[in-house]
Amino acid sequence: MKKYLNPLLFILLILIVVLALNYQLHHFSALRNAEGIINDMRPLVIWDIRLPRILLAVITGASLALAGNAMQGVFQNPLASPGLLGSANGSTTASVFLLYYFSLPTTLLLLGGVIGALASFTLVYFIAHKQSSTVMILSGVAVNMLLGSAIALLLSNAQSPWALAELYRWLQGSLVWAKTETLLWSLPILLLGIFCLFQQRRYVDFLTFGEETAATMGINPKRSFFLTALGVALLVGATIPQTGTIGFIGLIAPHFARILLKKRPSQLYLTSGLIGALTLLIADLCVQYIPFFSHIYIGTLTAIIGAPVLIWILLTQQRRLARD
């Protein structure tokens, strides 16, 4: 069954994408414009509205899941998340700053988010790269707290209630800003991030035996850690400016992949990416088409789903430690 898991997840993803593209599409087949002329709006709805949003959901969910799997592999901890080393808050802080003080096109906002993610990760790495992984995590926590305070400061200084409302909406996470142009601009950055993770896939496997053992297997731990964390920063930085803050996907998707496959971290990337893409796409469809979720931001919905899963992970880890 395990060898068929990825094909099944991929087929399920394609089916949901096709259904989402064609859902109630006939309602747009004959709409009257201001002059009373009947037009077929289905191509516009598919190519300009639905497809960019679906692709953004799939790409963002997969990217966060890949980043989460890398962090969990590096730190050998199922509670590690993509933003552990500050990249998520760095991208968020840069995006909030640019949104509030400048009127920039989304492509430049994307670039700012990537720079913010890389800058915050570089700061964490500079502080703790000669120390243990525990110090690295603590440095990430400290930088995340600093950046969180910076975000709060920016929001508290907002002069316009409309600007504050728009920033708050963005921080809750949403896919309504999906644009094909921005997706195309982000694609090279995402591919570079994936390449970094793929190139260092043996590193996260060898870490299961300990960092000292990994070093005896022809791995340069410092270099491999830097490249892996760099890939995570690129994936996070290229998605957050397009969606706002979306949490828990990078935490729960790799964990479920690990439960289903029970394989090495490098063998979980594809499964984690598919689960992440499916999770975020289904969550976005719930927000769009189910009335009960219509007033909930997708970032809030993923938190509602992810928080109980996090509690379950903690309880599972506690029971496992008690048995050992």
The tens digit of pLDDT for each residue in 218-228 reads 788 888 999 99
| pTM of the predicted model over 0.85 | yes
The answer to whether 71 touches 84, Cβ cutoff 8 Å, is yes
User: Please, which residues have CB within 8 angstroms of residue 22's CB and are 6 or more apart in sequence?
Assistant: none
Each residue's pLDDT tens digit, 111-122: 999 999 999 999
| Three-state DSSP state, 184 | helix
Side-chain half-sphere exposure of 2, counting CA atoms within 13 A = 10
Residue 313 CA to residue 241 CA, distance in Å, equals 29
Rounded Cα gap, residues 245 and 263, in angstroms:
30
Residue 284: both structure tokens together: 């976005």
Q: Where are the beta strands (DSSP E) in the chain?
A: 31-32, 38-39
Residues of the chain with pLDDT under 70: 1, 32-37, 321, 324
